[in-house]
Amino acid sequence: MLRKILKPFSKFFEFHARSHYRAERHSMALTIGIIAASAVGGFVEIAPLFSIDETVEAAPDMRVYTPLEQAGRDIYIREGCYACHSQMIRSLRDEVDRYGPYSLAVESQYDHPMLWGSKRTGPDLARVGEKFSDEWQVQHLVDPRSLVPESVMPQYAFLLDTPLETASLPGRLAALRTVGVPYSDEQIENAAEDARGQAYPDSDQAYAVEERYGEATNIRFFDGRRDRLTEMDALVAYLQIMGGLTDLPQETQFAEGE
Amino acid sequence: MMERLTIAERQQAMLLSGGLALVGLALAIVGRGDAMGVHGWITMIFAGGLFFVVGNALYAPAPTDDRATSYYDDPTKVGILISLFWAVIAMGMGVWVAAQLAWPDLRFDAPWSSFGRIRPVHTSGVIFGFGGNALIATSYHVMQRTSRARLAGHVSPWFVLLGFNLFCIIAASGYLMGITQSKEYAEPEWYADIWLVVVWVVYFVLYMRTLARRNEPHIYVANWYYMAFILVVAVLHIVNNLAVPASFSAAKSYSAFSGVQDAMTQWWYGHNAVAFFLTAGFLGMLYYFLPKRAERPIYSYRLSILSFWGIVFFYIWAGSHHLHYTAVPQWVQTLGMTFSVMLLVPSWASAGNALMTLNGAWGKVRDDATLRFMMVAAVFYGLSTFEGSFMAIRAVNSLSHYTDWTVGHVHAGAMGWVALITFGSIYALVPILWRRESMYSWKLVEWHFWLALGGTVIYVFAMWNSGIIQGLMWRTYTESGTLAYSFTDSLVAMHPYYVARTIGGAFFLTGAIIGAFNVIMTIRKVHEQTPELDYPTKSEAGEPAVPAAE
């Protein structure tokens, strides 16, 4: 039966086999063939994503990460949190019911790299921001099983004792600007002070952060301690802004629902 | 081993390793205070050590015979041993990470031992350390035998093998220190990425130069696959790792792409790392070692052409099936799904071609565990490519994505296909390389086979169960229209499967340890026996380089 199905193609197979028999004597013919055959798919699927405008929605209220949040994001990457937590709510009913409005492309527009993840050993975190208090987040990171006895998450108590390194933040923001995040010169220059200011409310530095990043910025003692800036401050600041960079998903999807 | 290098080649090797040691020193000085500095020291110690090893034997007697009359197997031998070393380390790490999910406190209370940091040590260790070294080593063997020619060069094979291992060491030690780009299977930072490009270019040039020396008019199919592996991995690696370092004195860099474009690029890379690293390269192994061991010609030449070009062309499109229902445009998802389903044709053509080759040799499959490794590998290749095409269908993916089903699928491929074909090839190769009568113990090969098969089956069944239960629990509603289970409920339900998975992994690890022991004992204890005709020959009357088809 297989022979019958394939019969119309036999001429093509014959030609292919015969020309291949000649071509495979030349390593460069194989090289060029492999590169050409493998280039098509990637080109067709990736290149248009950069040029088609509808790929990423327009969200006028989209804001960038503050230096402290970006530092927290870098810690999130360093610790490999993405191996167990996704940041991508799919457009499926149960996911929207469980985690909130499905994720839009614009929400990770400034995420270099994206952290959509591929596995949920723990829950999705795309909209975890402000779902829990700072104290809860800190306690959960220090000892997850004290709050969720069934949890299998590792403890990250050392973050509370590790001072946040801020000297490299201007360089980090500058690199992010090179790849397309719209940081201003002023934001880059003051990145280290701003990281400090965001975790020290009612200080001059804190007012400066508000001026540079907007009034909606969370300015709090994230790790609950006033004496120093720790990695815990940064990570909690990042967790609390997740899903909070733009209101577009809530606005558009609630409108759809009505 | 040094006696097979000329004095000039030894000097060249010293120049290269000395230069690399200086690069390491520079990296250590520039990157002091950052983990990059530690990598500088590692590079310096690694290259400096090589410098002294070669320097010690600089004036030892040089080779006197005509080297073109034999094959150059030293790098292959070392590559096989390093590959086995990585197998034990990386699979051990795998068992440990698996155990952490069942018993989360099973770690020293240290930052480096958390799941997030040691998981990439397991994945990179297995894929690059075990798989990569096995690919490089077997490719050296296959390219020489199928070309009837000695390797083109004596320093460059070492440069590729040892340079690649330096990359692996930098990668693994980096993860423990928290250096990662977070891109799955492409975690190492910018300087390691640049180094790998250098190594890879040398690898490709070496391959092409060896093929250019061949005494066979045709390039055998195994070589096509190795070439596709080298070429496409280079392209994938360069594009996916485009990034801007935050500073040239520190490891941290930021991907050139963001959001949707980054996700698409990452999974274009990620899925094709599966295609061209974990499939194409290992199909090269299969196409050489299976017919050799079975002493049967490949069933169909045409089928191998069809499946080769099918795999090269179709696979590249499939990456977007990792992004169903996400913010990636629908048309990309649909393309990815369509091509993933079509991919089944060339995949099964390959698996079928391998199994049909065994027709007439099934008695050998029964008696010879080495050949059985390869046969079962081809079966798992067929099974996991079927499963992959199935899981790429959007509706199936809505259930399977983000769950352990994906993990199970990956391991069906990685354990059942990649590792089994590698172990089979190693068992076939070791007696030939070291000129031994046979393996030290065929009983241990049997033990390894059954432990590996049992471990894989336990693992995959555990993950199927946990994945499907998890997926169903997440989407179950009560009659009043609310979600029936909290996330924690689904996590609790996973526990028995996580325990089972750890046991399956431990079986597999035990097998690998037995395998490594058996190889070492073969080298140390078994009598020498030189195989007939294992040297370059122009004679068409001699043994064919590979059993010819038709």
Residue B44 sits in the same domain as residue B97? no
State how far the alpha carbon of B296 is from the alpha carbons of B138, B221, B352, in Å.
Answer: 20, 15, 15
Q: Count Cβ atoms within 10 A of the Cβ of residue B480 and give its class: 0-12 exposed, 13-18 middle, 19 or more buried.
A: exposed
Give the one of A74, A84, A88 whose C-beta lies nearest to B115's C-beta: A84
Q: Measured between alpha carbons, how far is A139 from A215 in angstroms, rounded to an integer?
A: 27
Q: CA A110, CA A180: separation in Å to the nearest integer? A: 8
| Same domain, yes or no: B19 and B143 | no
CATH of the domain at B513: 1.20.210.10
Residue B27: the pLDDT is: 96
The structure's pTM equals 0.95
B544 lies in a domain? no
Q: Would you say residue B424 lies in a domain?
A: yes
A118–B184 C-beta distance less than 8 A:
yes
Residues B154, B2: Cα–Cα separation, whole Å:
11
Average pLDDT over residues A214-225: 93
Contact A118 B116 (CB under 8 A): no
- B130 and B27 both lie in a single domain: no
Whether B156 and B188 share a structural domain: yes
Is there a single domain that holds both residue B260 and residue B199? Answer: yes
DSSP annotation string for B466-521: HHHHHHHHHH-B-TTSSBSS-HHHHHHHHHHHHHHHHHHHHHHHHHHHHHHHHHHH
Residue B443 neighbours by CB distance under 10 Å:
11
| B17 and B130 assigned to the same domain | no
Question: Whose structure tokens read 């017919």?
Answer: B291
Share of chain A above pLDDT 90, in %: 81
Whether B377 is covered by a domain: the verdict is yes
In this structure, are residues A222 and A197 in contact, taking their beta carbons and an 8 Å threshold? no
In the prediction, which pLDDT does B539 show?
55
Q: Tell me, yes or no, whether B353 and B478 share the same domain.
A: yes
In a domain, B530, yes or no: no
Domain count within chain B: 2
Residues 117-176 of A with CB under 8 A from B: 117-124, 144-145, 148, 150-158, 168, 171-172, 174-176
- Does B254 sit within 8 Å of A172, measured CB to CB? yes
Q: Is the CB of B180 less than 8 angstroms away from the CB of A24?
A: no
DSSP B112: G
Contact list, B115 vs chain A (CB under 8 Å): 80, 83-84, 154
User: Looking at the partner chain, which of A74, A114, A152 has a beta carbon nearest the beta carbon of B263?
Assistant: A114
Q: Confidence band (pLDDT; 50, 70, 90) for A258? A: very low
Residue B192 lies in a domain: yes
Tell me, yes or no, whether B200 and B140 share the same domain.
Answer: yes
Residues B50 and B106 in one domain: no
pLDDT tens per residue across span A78-87: 999 999 999 9
- CB proximity under 8 Å: B 483-512 to A: 483, 487-488, 491-492
Give the number of other Cβ atoms within 10 Å of residue B78's Cβ. Answer: 18
Residue B545 lies in a domain: no
Residue of A3, A32, A49, A232 best to disrupt the B interface, most CBs of B under 10 A = A49
Distance from CA of A162 to the nearest CA of B (A): 11
CA distance B166 to B170: 6
In which residue ranges of chain B is pLDDT below 50?
Answer: 541, 549-550
* Closest residue in B to A116 (Cα–Cα): B263
Put simply, whether B366 touches A (Cβ < 8 Å) is no
pLDDT number for residue B550: 41
Q: Specify whether B309 is located in the same domain as B228.
A: yes
Nearest Cα residue in chain B from A25: B218
Contact list in A for residue B325 (CB cut-off 8 A) is 90-92, 102
Domain presence at residue B422: yes
In angstroms, the CA B247 to CA B449 distance is 49
Burial class (CB in 10 A: 0-12, 13-18, 19+), B364: middle
Residues of A in contact with B305 (CB under 8 A): 16-17, 20
**Dihedral, B335, B337, B343, B348 alpha carbons, nearest 10:** -170
Confirm whether B204 is domain-assigned.
yes
Using an 8 Å CB-CB cutoff, list chain A residues near B209.
Answer: none
Taking CB atoms and an 8 Å cutoff, what residues of chain B touch A52? 329
Containing structural domain, residue B496: 73-246+256-525
Considering the domain architecture, whether residues B282 and B372 belong to the same structural domain is answered as: yes
pLDDT of residue A44: 92
| Same-domain pairing of B48 and B183 | no
The three-class DSSP label of residue B142 is helix
B266 contacts in chain A (CB < 8 Å): 113-114
Min distance B182 CA to chain A CA atoms (Å): 6
ipTM: 0.94
